[in-house]
Amino acid sequence: MRKILVVMGLLVLSVLGLGVLVNSPVMALSNVCDDPDIAEDLKEAAGCELDSNDNVLNVVVGLIEVALGLFGLIGVGVIVYGALIYTTSVGDTGKTAKAKNIILYGIVGLVVSMLAFAVVRFVSAVIGG
């Protein structure tokens, strides 16, 4: 019974961690210049200042965030895999130790990817102005 509760707790924590990685804040657009759906020539006609470096920065940051999100997803998968091994260990101390190590490494990977995600967001906000 204790193993089931531990596994269920780890699954809940994994899902919450994935939710943090996947969800991003939604911000309302303040004007036409910030709307990504409007064509560049229309923004120019509206008097918006276009900065090509800003577009490159957005693309690079977006790619890094997608990669870190995938790493977080892999971390959740590793935690689930370790939980399955832990559940099916049937008291075998070798399998139990292996499962605990897998879960620990999965948690460490998930935390590192979340911290990296936060650092990328912070640095892009500082550079982007």
Q: Can you give the residue ranges of every domain in the chain? A: 2-20+51-128
At residue 64, does pLDDT exceed 50? yes
- Those residues whose C-beta lies under 8 Å from the C-beta of residue 32, and which sit 6 or more positions away, are 38, 42, 43, 46, 48
pTM: 0.57
30 vs 90, more confident: 90
Distances (CA, A) of 31 to 10, 13, 15: 43, 39, 36
What mean pLDDT comes out for the span 11-22? 60
Residue (of 7, 3, 2, 12) closest to 81 by Cα position:
7
At residue 11, does pLDDT exceed 90? no
59 vs 5, more confident: 59
In this prediction, what percent of the chain has a pLDDT beyond 70?
Answer: 60
Indicate the burial class of 59 (C-beta count within 10 angstroms; 0-12, 13-18, 19 or more).
exposed
At residue 51, does pLDDT exceed 60? no
Average pLDDT, the chain: 79
At residue 46, does pLDDT exceed 70? no
In this prediction, what percent of the chain has a pLDDT beyond 90?
Answer: 39
